[in-house]
Amino acid sequence: MTETVTVTSTETVTATATKRSPIRTGAAIPRLLYIPAVVGLALLILPIVGLFLRADWPRVPAAIMSAEAQSALGLSLQTALSSTVLCIIVGVPLALLIARSGSRVAGLLRALTTLPLVMPPLVGGIALLYLLGRNGLVGSGLELAFGIRIPFTTAAVVIAQSFVALPFLVISVEGALRTAGTRFETVAATLGAGRWMVFRRVTLPLIMPGLLAGTVLCFARALGEFGATALFAGNAAGITRTMPLAIYTAFNGAGVSQDSAIALSLLLIVVSIVILFLLRSWRTTPEL
C-alpha cells in the first residue's frame, strides 16, 4: 500500500513538473545542424532585407502614389478580390465533394485540384489559352456564338488568378471538413433538418476557421500571381497590368520607374506579413 502511494505521488509530481517546466526548445538538436539551419534562414530573409535597404524611403510614398503604381495596385486589388469570391463560390462545394467522397475518388479529386500547385504558372497560362483562346476548346465556341473574347482582358486576369489560387482554398476547407467530421451533421439530419439547413447552420459554422484561412491564402496567392496572367491576360496598362507585372515591366525598362517597382514590392511584402499574422491569430489556440 505504501509503495503504491509513493509511486502515485511520484507520478503526480513528475506530471506537475512537466507542465510547469516545458522542454527547452532545441535541446535535442545536434549542434552541427544549427549551421545549415542558419544558412537556410539567411537565404529566406537576406533578400528581403536587401530590398528594404535598397529602397529610397523618402521617395517611397510618392512612388506608391504615382498614377502607374496606383493603376496597378487598384487593378490587383480588384481582380484578387473578384477571383477570391469566385474561388469561394466554386471551391467550398468542391472541398465538400472531396471530403465526403470515398478514399479513391477523394484521392483522384485531390490530385487534380492540387495540380496547379506543382504546375509551372507559365504552363497554366498556356493551358488557359488553349482552353479559352480564339482557337481554344471553349474559346472558339464563345467567340462564334456570342462574340466573347476572354484572353488579354481583365476577366482573363481573374480567371488566371483563380486557376492558381483555388487549390489553397480547397485544401484548407477540405482539411477543416475532415477535422469536423460528420457527427453533428448526422444529428441535425436525424432531427429533421434538410440538407441546405444542415449545410448553412451546421457545416459552415464548423469549418469557418478553415474557410477564413483558405480565403486569406487564396487572396494572397491571387494578389501575387504573375506567370499565368502574363501569358493568358497580357500586360496592358490599366487593363491587365497587375502589381507583379508592373514590377516586372519596370525592371525591363518600361512602364513605372524602378522606385515604383521597389515600392510595390515592399507593399506586397507588407501585405504578406499582415496575412501571416492574421493566419497565426486564427490558428492559435489558448494553452490549457
Per-position DSSP letters for 228-255, written without gaps between them: HHHHHT---TTTT--HHHHHHHHTTTSS
Q: Give residue 256's pLDDT.
A: 57
Q: Give residue 96's pLDDT.
A: 94
Q: Give residue 237's pLDDT.
A: 86
What are the pLDDT tens digits along the chain (288 aa)? Answer: 444 444 444 444 444 544 444 445 545 788 899 899 999 999 999 988 888 888 888 888 887 788 888 888 889 999 999 999 999 999 999 999 999 998 899 999 999 999 998 888 889 999 999 999 888 889 888 888 888 899 999 999 999 999 999 999 999 999 999 988 888 888 888 888 888 998 988 899 999 988 998 998 899 899 989 999 999 999 988 899 998 998 888 877 655 567 777 888 888 888 778 777 776 665 554 444
Q: Give residue 10's pLDDT.
A: 46
Q: Give residue 68's pLDDT.
A: 81
DSSP tally for the chain: helices H, then strands E: 15, 0
| CB proximity list for 163: less than 8 A, separation 6 or greater | 116, 124, 128, 228
The pTM for the full model equals: 0.81
Shortest CA distance to 116 belongs to which of 138, 91, 148, 149? 91
Q: Which residue has the cell 537565404?
A: 43
* CATH code, 58-110+119-283: 1.10.3720.10
For helices 258-283 and 67-99, angle between their N-to-C axes, nearest 10 degrees: 30
User: What is the C-alpha to C-alpha distance for residues 162 and 167, in angstroms, rounded to an integer?
Assistant: 9
Domain boundaries, the chain: 58-110+119-283
Q: Give residue 284's pLDDT.
A: 54
Q: How many CB atoms lie within 10 A of CB 100?
A: 14
Retrieve residue 112's grid coordinates. 487534380
- Amino acid present at 234: G
User: What is the C-alpha to C-alpha distance for residues 214 and 173, in angstroms, rounded to an integer?
Assistant: 7
For helices 204-223 and 154-180, angle between their N-to-C axes, nearest 10 degrees: 150
